[in-house]
Amino acid sequence: MRLDRVVIRNFKSIKSIDLQVPQKDEHRQGSADFLSIVGENNAGKSSIMEAIRLACTAASKAGLDQFPGIDPGNGPIEMELAFDQLNENDRNSPAVAGNTFTEDGREKYRLKRIWKTPGAASENSSYNPNRPPTVHLTGWTGKKTLKTLLEADERWKPILELVTKENSGPRPPIDMLIQAAKKLDSPLLETHPQEPWAPYQGSSASHLEAILPSVIYVPALRETSEEADVGMKQSSIRKIVNSLFEQQLAGHERVIRFRSAAIELQDLFATDGKHRIVTSIEEQITAKFKELINIGAELKFSAPDVMSDLANSTEFRVLDGGLSTTPDNQGHGAQRSIVLALLQMYAEQLRKSTAREQHPMLFLIEEPEIYLHPAMCRRMRDTLLKISRSGAGQVICTTHSPVFLDLADRHDGIVILRKKAAAPVATQRTRDVFDQTEGDKEQRARLRMLLTFDPAVNEAFFSEQVCLVEGDCEIAAVEAVARRLEKEGSISWSKYLLARRMVTLINCRGKWTIPAFQKVLRAFDINYRVIYDLDVGAQANQANSQINNLLSGNDQSLPHDPNFEEFIFGKHWRSDKPWLATKTINEAPQLNPRLIAFFEFAIGQSISDLKPDAVPPAPEHTDAPQLRRPHRRNLRGKLKELKVPAQVIQSARRVEQLFRVAAGPNFATRPDSDSPLQQLEGTKIDAFAIVTGTSMADTLHDNDIVALKFLDKVFLEPVHSTDLPFNAAIPSLIENDGIYVLAANDDIDQKSYTMKRVRISTRTGGAWLGNISADNPDTNWGDRGHFEIRKTDRVHFAAQVIGVVRRDELEGFSPEALGLTTISMEQETAFEED
C-alpha cells in the first residue's frame, strides 16, 4: 500500500492539517512520491513529522507533551491515514479485509487513530462508506419469549409460523427470524444505515503493523551515533541495513540452508513426533512440578529470524586513515554523509531489485541539507528522488533549502506552513499549476530552463514577499541606491537590511518568464509584486497583457515605459546594464524621484521608515555613573547559630558535603545531594560550605562554615528530557534578602557556586529578575547588578544558607586541616561593577 493522505488533529499546536502525499506519474515529468514541507522556524514542521511517525507506528502511545497545551483535556489526538495502490496481500490482511472503498477510480483504505490519554494505546477504526445497513425486528429483545412477542404484536404470528415449520428447536435464533421476516416482507423489519467509521477489527498490533509503512526517521539535530547504530532497533540505519540484507541475502543458498536447519530444529519440539530428548526433559520437569503442584511442563521452540539476527549482530564502523572508529567520532558533516551514502546504496539496490513485493517504506527526513556542503546537498536531493521514484519508498522531508523544491514541476510536492492564530496552517496544491495548454507548456519550459542555471529562484517559497524583476539591472540598482542613501545618512543600514531580508528579488531573466512565476506564487498564496518594462511591439504587448491579467490590484505592479534605464536615467544601454546603473547612481548629484519610487516599491518600505533613530544631544558635562547600592545589611542575626559536633563535620567531608563556596566564582566539586545529613537542633542540614572572601563581610566572614539546605522542587541540570517540570517554583522558594548558593546556565560548565544576597521580582512573560548585592563597601563588587532566571533555565545547584556553625565549635578545623585549598577572591575581576 502507498500512503496517500495524512490528516492531523489536536497534536501539539496543530489544530487540523490535511496533507496529500504526491505520487509518481509516468505522464508527468518530475513527479515523485516526494513531499517537501517548508516554513519559518517554529512553524510546526517538526510537529508534522512527529505526528506522522506516531500515526505510522502500530504500538505507539502519545506522550503528555504531544497533547495541545500539554493538557489531555485539549485532546483527543486524532490521525487519519489514507492508502491506495493495494495489492492482494493488503486486501486479505485482517485490518483491511472488508474495509476498502473506491474513490476517484482508485481502491482505498482509511484508518483513524485516536489517543485520549497519555501513555495509553490508540483507539483505531476503519472507514467504509458502503457498509450494508443493519437489520432489526421491531419489539425484539433477547429476553422476551416468543409467546410474549406474539401477545404484544400480532404481526409476529406469520413470522413465528414460518420459523416453526423450519426449526423444531425451543427458541429460534434472531438471524432465522430476520430471514423469515424478509421472505414475508414483514412490516416488523427495520433497517438502519451504518456509520462509515467502524472499530478496527484487527486482533493485535501486529495486524496493524503489517499494513503500516516501515518508517525510517532521520532527525535534524540528533547525532548519527544513534542513527548509525545498527544495534538500535529503531535507528534509521538498522532499518536500511535490514532492507539491504533482505534484498541481498534472502535468496543466498547459505541463508536458505540456515532456515531449513532452523525448521528441522523446530521439528524436534513439534507436538507430533517430538524428539525423545525433548520429551524426556519435559517429563523430568513435570515430575518436579508435581512434587509441589499438579501442573505439567511443555517446551516450545521458535526458529530464529536469520535476517533480523544478522542486522542485530552487525556493528557499523568507519575506516578513517586506517583507523576503525564508530560514526560518533566523526564530524557532523561526515555523520550526515554516512546517512547519505547508505541511502544512496539503498536507492541503487531498489533499482536492481526484482519485482518481488516488499513492505512499503516511508522516509521522514528533517532538514536533509543540514551539515552538508552544497554539492553534497544536491546529491542528497537526487538520492531521495531516486528512492521516491523507485516505487518502494516514499519521502517526506522538512527543509530550509531551495534545492529540495521544484518551481517548475512537482507543485503537489510542496507544502508551505504558516502560523495563523498560533496554529500551523498548510498551503498545498493537489495538482500542477500548469495545465496542458501550449501556453502553459511554454511557461513551464521557461521555468525549467531558468532553474537549470539559477536554482536560487526557489527561495520564493521561503519568503513573505516576492518582487519579480526582468533582469539583474534592477537588483543592482536597489543595492546601489541603498548604499548611497546610507552614505548620505538618509537611512539606517540595519533597518534597510531588515527590510531587504523580508523580500526576495527574483531575476526572471526576461518578460515572458514573469507570468509563469505569477501563477506559481498565486497558487501558494505568496505575496508578490512585479517591476517590468512595457517595451514596444506586439509581442511585448502580449506579454504585458498576460502579466496584467494575473495581477490582483494596480498597486501590485510598477511598469517602466519603455524600459527601466530610459525611464529612470533617460539613457539607452545595450550591455553592462548592472554596472552602468550602479555607476550612474554613485556619480549622480542627487537621486531622482523616479529612482526613489522604484527603490521603495522594490523593498516594500518607504525611506522615511528606514531613517536612523534620533540620537539625543550629549550633555555639556557628564558625571561619573553612580551605581545605586542597596543599603548595607548585617543579616548575621537572621542566621541560626548551630552547635555542630566535630564528627559531623568530618563525616560531611567524607561524603563531599563540606566544600568551599566563595562570595564570587568558585570551582569546588558539587556536593552529594542524595545523602542528606542528620538534623541538628531540629534543623535539617543538607551540606556545609566554607566561606572565602570578604564581599559579604557584614554578614559572613572569611572561613565561616555555613549550613545549607537544598531548595526543594528546583529542577536541577542536566536537562535532557522535555517531559520534566519547569522551574516554576523558584519565586516562591527564594526569600527576599535571603542568602543563597546558586548556579544557573553559564555557571554550569564552571561549576561555579556563588554566594548571593538576592531580591527577586516577577517579570511579565514568565521570567524573574534577581537583584544581587554584596554587603562590604570595602570590596570592589558592591551592587553585583541583575540576573534573570527563566522557567526553562538550567539550574545546576541551588541552596539556602540557613545557619552558621558556632566559632567555638571550629577549633582545630581550619580549611587547610580539612584538605581544602584556600582560593583568594580579592583579586577576582569576573564580577566587577558594570
Domain hosting 152: range is: 138-191
Question: Could you tell me where the DSSP H helices lie in 118-204?
Answer: 146-152, 157-166, 174-184
Confidence of residue 669 (pLDDT cuts 50, 70, 90): very low
User: According to the model, what pLDDT value does residue 829 have?
Assistant: 29
Q: Is the pLDDT of residue 554 over 90?
A: no
Give kind and range of the element (H or E) at residue 10. Answer: strand 2-11
User: Phi then psi for 380, rounded to 5 degrees?
Assistant: -60, -45
Type of residue numbered 511: K
Dihedral of alpha carbons 181, 186, 188, 190, sign: positive
For residue 373 the three cell numbers come to 556542503
Strand segments, DSSP code E, in 55-121 are 77-84, 100-103, 106-115
Q: Are residues 119 and 142 in the same domain?
A: no
Q: Are residues 282 and 204 in the same domain?
A: no
In a domain, 228, yes or no: no
Residue in 459, 38, 485 with CA at minimum distance from that of residue 467: 459
User: According to the model, what pLDDT value does residue 545 have?
Assistant: 94
Type of residue numbered 135: V
What's the DSSP call for residue 651? H
Q: Residue 505 and residue 509: Cα distance in Å, rounded?
A: 12
Q: What angle do CA 351, 355, 357 make, to 5 degrees?
A: 110
Give the three-class secondary structure for 637: helix
Total structural domains in the chain?
5
Q: Is the pLDDT of residue 743 over 80?
A: no
Q: Residue 469 and residue 513: Cα distance in Å, rounded?
A: 10
Residue in 529, 798, 794 with CA at minimum distance from that of residue 673: 798
Strand segments, DSSP code E, in 40-97 are 77-84
Confidence of residue 177 (pLDDT cuts 50, 70, 90): confident
Q: Are residues 48 and 163 in the same domain?
A: no
For residue 584 the three cell numbers come to 550612474
Contacts for 725 with CB less than 8 Å, ≥ 6 apart: 715
Q: Residue 811 and residue 658: Cα distance in Å, rounded?
A: 16
Q: Residue 383 and residue 341: Cα distance in Å, rounded?
A: 9
Q: Are residues 147 and 184 in the same domain?
A: yes
In a domain, 498, yes or no: yes
User: According to the model, what pLDDT value does residue 72 have?
Assistant: 92
Q: Is the pLDDT of residue 485 over 90?
A: yes
Q: Residue 319 and residue 326: Cα distance in Å, rounded?
A: 9
User: Are 36 and 399 within 8 A, CB to CB?
Assistant: yes
Among the listed ranges 218-227, 243-252, 524-533, 754-763, which one has the minimum average pLDDT value? 754-763
Q: Is the pLDDT of residue 742 over 80?
A: no
**Residues 81-122 pLDDT 10s:** 999 999 888 888 888 888 899 988 899 999 999 999 999 999
DSSP notation for 236-299: HHHHHHHHHHHHHHTT-HHHHHHHHHHHHHHHTT-STT--HHHHHHHHHHHHHHHTTSS-----
Contacts for 557 with CB less than 8 Å, ≥ 6 apart: 529, 530, 531, 532, 547, 548, 551
Q: Are residues 643 and 666 in the same domain?
A: yes
Contacts for 793 with CB less than 8 Å, ≥ 6 apart: 727, 744, 745
For residue 349 the three cell numbers come to 539496490
Q: Residue 650 and residue 654: Cα distance in Å, rounded?
A: 6
User: What length is written for the chain?
Assistant: 834
- Highest mean pLDDT of the ranges 384-388, 481-485, 643-647: 481-485
Confidence of residue 771 (pLDDT cuts 50, 70, 90): low
Instruction: Compare 790 and 497 and report the one with higher pLDDT.
Output: 497
For residue 318 the three cell numbers come to 568507519
Give kind and range of the element (H or E) at residue 783. Answer: strand 783-790
In a domain, 465, yes or no: yes
Q: Averaged over 461-476, what is the pLDDT?
A: 91
- Please give, one letter per residue, the 3-state secondary structure of 696-756: CCCCCCCCCEEEEEECCCCCECCCCCCCCCCCCCHHHHCCCCEEEEEEECCHHHHCCCEEE
Type of residue numbered 394: Q
User: According to the model, what pLDDT value does residue 747 have?
Assistant: 43
Among the listed ranges 347-356, 372-381, 488-497, 671-680, which one has the minimum average pLDDT value? 671-680
Q: Residue holding cell 495524512?
A: 6
Q: Are residues 446 and 587 in the same domain?
A: yes
User: According to the model, what pLDDT value does residue 233 have?
Assistant: 55
User: Are 12 and 43 within 8 A, CB to CB?
Assistant: no
Confidence of residue 304 (pLDDT cuts 50, 70, 90): low
Contacts for 131 with CB less than 8 Å, ≥ 6 apart: 194, 195, 196, 198
Q: Are residues 248 and 269 in the same domain?
A: yes
For residue 109 the three cell numbers come to 483504505
Instruction: Compare 143 and 369 and report the one with higher pLDDT.
Output: 369
Q: Is 693 left (phi over 0), alpha (psi -120 to 50) or beta?
A: left
Q: Are residues 290 and 165 in the same domain?
A: no
Q: Is the pLDDT of residue 279 over 60?
A: yes
Largest CA distance in the chain: 119
Q: Residue 488 and residue 588: Cα distance in Å, rounded?
A: 13
Percent of the chain scoring above 70 in pLDDT: 69
Give kind and range of the element (H or E) at residue 476. Answer: helix 472-488
Q: Are residues 671 and 782 in the same domain?
A: yes
Q: Residue 629 and residue 365: Cα distance in Å, rounded?
A: 55
What's the DSSP call for residue 792? T
Contacts for 476 with CB less than 8 Å, ≥ 6 apart: 577, 578, 579, 581, 582
Q: Averaged over 59-72, what is the pLDDT?
A: 92
Q: Are residues 517 and 483 in the same domain?
A: yes
Q: Residue 398 and residue 365: Cα distance in Å, rounded?
A: 7
User: According to the model, what pLDDT value does residue 311 have?
Assistant: 59
Tell me the CATH number at 476.
3.40.50
Give the three-class secondary structure for 2: strand
Q: Averaged over 632-649, what is the pLDDT?
A: 74
Q: Is 102 left (phi over 0), alpha (psi -120 to 50) or beta?
A: beta
In a domain, 619, yes or no: no
Q: Averaged over 12-20, what is the pLDDT?
A: 95
Q: Averaged over 202-207, what is the pLDDT?
A: 67
In a domain, 342, yes or no: no
Residue in 429, 240, 267 with CA at minimum distance from that of residue 342: 240
User: According to the model, what pLDDT value does residue 64 have?
Assistant: 93
Between the alpha carbon of residue 310 and those of residues 243, 318, 319, 348, the distances in Å are: 11, 19, 21, 21
Percent of the chain scoring above 90 in pLDDT: 28
User: Are 786 and 772 within 8 A, CB to CB?
Assistant: yes
Give the end of a domain, one of 273, 293, 315. 315
User: According to the model, what pLDDT value does residue 269 have?
Assistant: 64
Q: Are residues 594 and 640 in the same domain?
A: no
User: According to the model, what pLDDT value does residue 65 have?
Assistant: 92
Type of residue numbered 97: A
Q: Residue 827 and residue 829: Cα distance in Å, rounded?
A: 6
- Please give, one letter per residue, the 3-state secondary structure of 303-349: CCCHHHHHHHCCCCCEEECCEEECHHHCCHHHHHHHHHHHHHHHHHH
User: Are 227 and 239 within 8 A, CB to CB?
Assistant: no
For residue 294 the three cell numbers come to 499438579
In a domain, 366, yes or no: no
In a domain, 231, yes or no: no
Q: Residue 583 and residue 595: Cα distance in Å, rounded?
A: 14
Q: What is the CA radius of gyration of the chain?
A: 38
**Residues 708-741 pLDDT 10s:** 887 765 544 443 444 444 444 455 556 656 777 7
Q: Averaged over 362-386, what is the pLDDT?
A: 88
Q: Residue 768 and residue 766: Cα distance in Å, rounded?
A: 7
Q: How many CB atoms are located within 10 Å of the residue 339 CB?
A: 22
Q: Residue 471 and residue 558: Cα distance in Å, rounded?
A: 14
Q: Is the pLDDT of residue 302 over 50?
A: yes
User: According to the model, what pLDDT value does residue 598 have?
Assistant: 97
Contacts for 342 with CB less than 8 Å, ≥ 6 apart: 237, 240, 241
Dihedral of alpha carbons 212, 216, 217, 222, sign: positive
Confidence of residue 68 (pLDDT cuts 50, 70, 90): very high
Q: Are residues 662 and 798 in the same domain?
A: yes
Instruction: Compare 766 and 346 and report the one with higher pLDDT.
Output: 346
Contacts for 59 with CB less than 8 Å, ≥ 6 apart: 121, 205, 209
**Residues 566-610 pLDDT 10s:** 999 999 998 999 999 999 999 999 999 999 999 999 999 999 999
| pTM confidence score | 0.64
For residue 192 the three cell numbers come to 438502519
In a domain, 303, yes or no: yes
